[in-house]
Amino acid sequence: MKMTTLAAAMIGLGGAVGAAPARSAVEIYGVLDTAVEHLRSSTGQHASLMKQTGHVPSRVGLRGREDLGNGMQARFELESGLGLDSGSLLQGGRMFGRSAYVGLGSRQWGEVRLGRQLSLMQGALAPYDPDHFSPYSPALAMQLSDLSQTSLDNVASYWSPTVGGFALALAFASGENAPVAPNPGAPQVVGPGTARHTRAALLTYRRAGLSAGVAAMALVQAMVFSFLERMGMDRGFGAGAVTAVLIALGIVNLFPAPLAAVLEQRWPARAVLCWGPLVQASLIAQGTAFPPYAAGALFFSAAMIFTHTFAFGVLARLEPSGRLVAATPAMLMTGSAIGPFLGGTLVKSAGYGALGWAAVGIAGAAVLAFHLACRRLPSARTLART
């Protein structure tokens, strides 16, 4: 009763947040799956039966949301488990045994949810389980090891916004002295009674995208630049020539960012992001002559700076709040910290040539990450204008 009162109060408070006209939406969703099974034993006995659920648990639900203004949104979810063989309600006969909660939140501050919800463990596994916790699910063994990893009663949870691909979830379930009555006979169905006192936390990282691409190019730059001077000296170019290249490199690196800012409205961001890592990798000269070494050294950092300028512009459009752009120093430092270690390991084990091959492989990963991230932009026309 206390949980219901708090939920109602939370929705009532949310209604007073903004004066903008509310927009609401309610949808019905579900999955209906059953099967007819015929069994025959080695002794000749056989039986045919219709299964309560098939490959995935059958369910039907209602979910809805209402915009409250100022970025705030209230929503709810009510989900029932069904046995199609008899039309019965599962989870111990509960009307909404799979989930029944209300939530209030925003993209900026995250969301608070109150009610019966999936445990954080099951919520984390479900998106990556191709069998959806069916009897054939590879994740079912983990679920069986602790039946509290299903739905929980009396849960208050907080789901943070995603920042740089990271998101935090916290959950507290007040058992209210209720008995625990899991259903090991049908583990593929969410347990009928898992009311218990529980605390949980979950940290996830998803959608590498632009963050991974930015970090990958920084990794290549740090990996090669750490050995640029030593590479020139070992090839016999002399201290004077190598020092001149390094001075010129500093001057050249003043121009890529302003040039990218001018061209950002004329060149398609997708093309720049996909070609930038490849250009950077191709500029790592592996020959023994001085001209290829000098040309590559002068421009391989410029390729990263030019591409990153476009990448940060795309980040700003994907996350208008600015949180992802604010996280860019962490992306750069991640690649820069790993680069010298990786470069030293490669040079020691396989020579300078290994740097080039590693750069090509990392460039391929960066291109893939940038390509996947650019697909999230509103449209190809909008992207072309960037």
Whichever domain contains 268, its CATH number is 1.20.1250.20
Instruction: Mark out the alpha helices in the chain (DSSP H runs).
Output: 2-15, 120-125, 140-145, 209-225, 228-234, 239-252, 256-263, 269-282, 290-318, 323-326, 328-350, 353-374, 380-384
Query: At which of 205, 236, 253 does a domain end?
Result: 205
CA distances from 204 to 188, 268, 288 (A): 25, 32, 46
Same domain, 259 and 365: yes
Quickly tell me which residue has 């962490």 as its tokens.
330
- Residue 43 within any structural domain of the chain: no
Amino acid at 71: G
Q: For residue 78, which amino acid is it?
A: L
Find the domain containing 363 and state its range.
Answer: 209-384
Instruction: Please check whether residues 182 and 221 belong to one and the same domain.
Output: no
Q: 212-265: per-residue pLDDT in tens?
A: 788 888 888 888 888 888 888 988 999 999 999 999 998 998 999 899 988 988
pLDDT given for residue 5 in this prediction = 41
| pTM value > 0.85 | no
Asked whether residue 307 is domain-assigned, the answer is: yes
* In a shared domain, residues 213 and 198: no
Judgement on whether residues 312 and 214 belong to the same structural domain of the protein: yes
Write the CA distances from 187 to 54, 144, 148, 324, integer angstroms: 13, 7, 11, 40
- Give percent above pLDDT 90 in the chain: 15
d(CA 210, CA 313): 11
In this structure, are 154 and 63 located in the same domain? yes
Residue 82: other Cβ atoms inside 10 A = 23
pLDDT score of 22: 54
Which helix (H) or strand (E) element contains residue 194?
strand 193-194
Same domain, 129 and 156: yes
Contact 157, 170 (CB under 8 A): yes
Is residue 274 one of the residues assigned to a domain?
A: yes
CATH of the domain at 71: 2.40.160.10
Structure tokens at 125: 């596994």
Do 89 and 170 have their domain in common? Answer: yes
Q: Do both 218 and 362 map to the same domain?
A: yes
Q: Is residue 38 in a domain?
A: no
**What is the per-residue pLDDT for 190?**
42
Give dist(CA 360, CA 355) in Å, integer: 9
CB 101 within 8 A of CB 116: yes
Long-range contacts of 228-232 (CB under 8 A, 24+ apart): 228/297, 231/293, 231/352, 232/293, 232/297
Provide the domain count of the chain.
2
Last residue within a domain, chosen from 187, 205, 223? 205
Please enumerate in sequence order all residues whose Cβ is within 8 A of that of 87, keeping only pairs 6 or more positions apart, or say none.
none
193 with 238, same domain: the answer is no
- Mean pLDDT of residues grouped by 10 in the chain (386 residues)? 40 42 80 84 83 80 92 93 86 86 92 89 67 58 54 88 80 68 46 59 70 82 87 90 91 91 86 89 77 88 89 76 64 76 88 87 87 64 40
Whether 60 and 93 share a structural domain? yes
In a domain, 126, yes or no: yes
pLDDT score for 45: 85
Does residue 25 lie in a domain region?
no
Q: DSSP character for 77?
A: E
